Chain A
Amino acid sequence: MNIQPLNYNFTRRHRYRSDYDHTNPKTVERSAGLCDKKMDNNITFSGSQDKSVAAANTFMGKILKSGAFNWLAEFSGAHNIASSALIALFLAGLLRPAATVALPGKKDKDDKIYAAGHSMASGIIGFIFSTVVTSPLDSGSKFFIEDGQKMSKADFAKLSEAEVRKILEEKFSMTEEEIDKCIKENKAEGKIARRFDKGMRIITSKTDKMNALKAELKSTTDAIRRKALGDEIRNLQSHIKAIDTTMHNVVDWGIAVPRAMLTIALIPPILKYVFRLEKKKPAAPKPDAQQVQQAQQTLQTQQAQSAPAVQPAQQVASQNVSENGVKVSMKDFIGGKQ
């Protein structure tokens, strides 16, 4: 049995030759070998170097590799709340209205259209409000969190020039010329050390502690102590990461109340002026013929007994039926139970 690697060749040349000219002996060496007649004992192997190519050709692979998904992943990583609002905008602004209108039931068609408009408006308001309010807060807290995780100015003063050069080369991947220029212009401190030494106090203190532990780890040879130090450093790292996540996302709690109030307040005008939708008041139900007949009969009998008392009651009853649309029995008015 022969196991052959599947040689993908995405150039046009390969495609044309396999399509039109695969019988030409010149093309055999360039083809993937899939068009050979002796395929009985052959297994086409697409592992190793071509594994990613095979995975990329699936539907999910194409999505994961697409630029749009990459952008979404990066956006979600940098701005959790705004990306959540963006997905909510897609769902509440597009999918939900479509599903609401598509649901069966002809009776409440107006209600469905109103609900769809309501959903779209809430999605749009939520997205705009979340993005506008949280983006500067997000960037501001990110700036301070990153600054807090840098070295303190006191620690930077202890570094030798060789160490500074090493950090600039390794961490900032700067060239020799750039490093020379940076040191000459005294910009190295701005890059390596904190801009605000009294920045985020929680992160600053934890970073200093972690740096001290790392320095201890370098000088320790005892395996048990090294293990304990490693655990403590990992613990501090995950704690700093959790603080970072908390600071970015807790903003959402802060804006939840005004956002909800704003959504409630702004939905009716948006529906009215943007979507041209307005909640119709329920139409006044026409009084039943039987009910009217019954009322007329009782009126006639009452007229016979006391003529002046009937007149105002009849007026009130007729007003109530027509204006409010509430089914009110004439008997009740005549009987004086209003």
Chain B
Amino acid sequence: MNVTFNPYRQSSYSSPNQCKPKPQAFTGKEEAVINSISGNSKFLNSVSKKYDDFCCWVGKNICRPLFDHGVIDSFADKIKDKDNSIKFFLIGGSAITSGVYMQRTLTNKKMDKDRRKTLAVNQFLTFLVSTAGALFLDSKLKTWWNNKKEQYFDLNLPNAEDVRHKMAEKNEKIKIKNQGLADMDKEPLYKLDTYLEKYGKKHFLGEDDYKRFMTKMHGFAALRSIIVFALVYRFLVPIIVTKPANILCEKYLAHKKNKDAKLQPAEQKTVEQKPVEQNTAVDNKAAKVAA
């Protein structure tokens, strides 16, 4: 992104003839502006270097032994062809969090046993409903979001037209090559993502620009699932589902209590009858002895 500072101020009421273009004071990349402000600061540089060293240490001593594992490899192999694989991690994270809450509910001694169980089941069902809802919404938004991604690309890359033109040229060549070949042997046509990954670098000024733009494109794709899952887990479900779920839970508990209350008098009657019979037996014995 180019940043322009123009210190000349023009009056909005001036006549058109007086609005001659003024020379710009500075035009350059935003990194240049940031570097000019922070680049000379010894304190910021030393802090940044220390943080980088710390991150490198974390990577070497924690990330490498922890993640450089066959399990990660096999898991990655399973999700590599899936659309927006980040949703699996969001579901996994939510499942673990819900599991912790359920475990805490089940071991909470302040609540009675029935309430504990009902609340845990309630939490589990809420997790299932929200996951299903989030997956449904995510799949429904896929096409619309992909269109917006194309629009995002067009709006934020100054030479987007040029990239599209080059991509179309490549695709034309592939189509000619593919003529007469069986479907299995046909080379796949380039999409925006695949083209940018293979030939994108030459359309940018440098490696950093290219990497930054590609990070934005990946981030845009990931944002769909991030927004949808956060919206469902953290907003829609707590607002819409929790209240009816609590009402159902209360109704179920009240129903169970009534059922228990009906059973209790019957049990009490049987308990009360026994001492009476014993008493009469004792009385009979005493009467016989007296006789």
Q: When A88-B230, A88-B234 are in contact, do A61 and B63 touch as well, CB less than 8 Å?
A: no
Interface 1/0 per residue, B38-81 and A, CB below 8 Å = 00000000000001101111111011100111101101110111
Contacts of A224 in B (CB 8 A): 185
CA gap between A257 and B187 in the complex, in Å: 46
CA gap between A73 and B72 in the complex, in Å: 26
Total inter-chain residue pairs, C-beta < 8 Å: 210
In the assembled complex, A276 has its CB within 8 A of some CB on chain B: no
CA gap between A75 and B86 in the complex, in Å: 15
How many residues of chain B have a CB within 8 Å of chain A?
76
Q: When A202-B72, A249-B89, A256-B93 are in contact, do A51 and B154 touch as well, CB less than 8 Å?
A: yes
> Which residues of chain B in 180-214 are interfacial with respect to chain A, using CB atoms and an 8 Å cutoff?
185, 187, 197, 201, 205-207, 212, 214
Residue of B whose beta carbon sits closest to that of A58: B151
A96 touches B155 (CB 8 A): no
Residue of B whose beta carbon sits closest to that of A139: B55
A253 touches B93 (CB 8 A): yes
A260 touches B67 (CB 8 A): no
In the assembled complex, A227 has its CB within 8 A of some CB on chain B: yes
Return the contact of B68 from the options A13, A171, A201 (Cβ within 8 A). A201
A140 touches B63 (CB 8 A): yes
The smallest beta-carbon distance between A324 and chain B, in angstroms, is: 15
The smallest beta-carbon distance between A61 and chain B, in angstroms, is: 6
B62 touches A137 (CB 8 A): yes
Contacts of A78 in B (CB 8 A): 215, 219
Residue of A whose beta carbon sits closest to that of B104: A264
CA gap between A143 and B233 in the complex, in Å: 32
Residue of A whose beta carbon sits closest to that of B90: A84
Chain A: interface size category: 35 or more
In the assembled complex, A220 has its CB within 8 A of some CB on chain B: no
Q: When A13-B19, A200-B64, A239-B77 are in contact, do A76 and B156 touch as well, CB less than 8 Å?
A: no
Besides the known contacts A12-B16, A136-B51, 16 further A-B residue pairs in the complex with CB atoms under 8 A apart: A11-B21, A12-B10, A16-B19, A55-B151, A56-B155, A73-B219, A77-B218, A84-B90, A84-B226, A84-B229, A96-B235, A141-B59, A227-B187, A246-B76, A256-B93, A256-B96
Binding site for A on B (CB under 8 A): 1, 10, 15-16, 19, 21, 51-52, 54-60, 62-64, 67-70, 72-73, 75-77, 79-81, 85-86, 89-90, 92-93, 96-97, 100-101, 104, 148, 151-152, 154-156, 160-161, 185, 187, 197, 201, 205-207, 212, 214-220, 222-223, 226-227, 229-231, 233-235, 238-239
7 smallest beta-carbon distances between A and B, as pairs: A77-B219, A140-B59, A76-B219, A140-B58, A249-B89, A77-B215, A242-B80
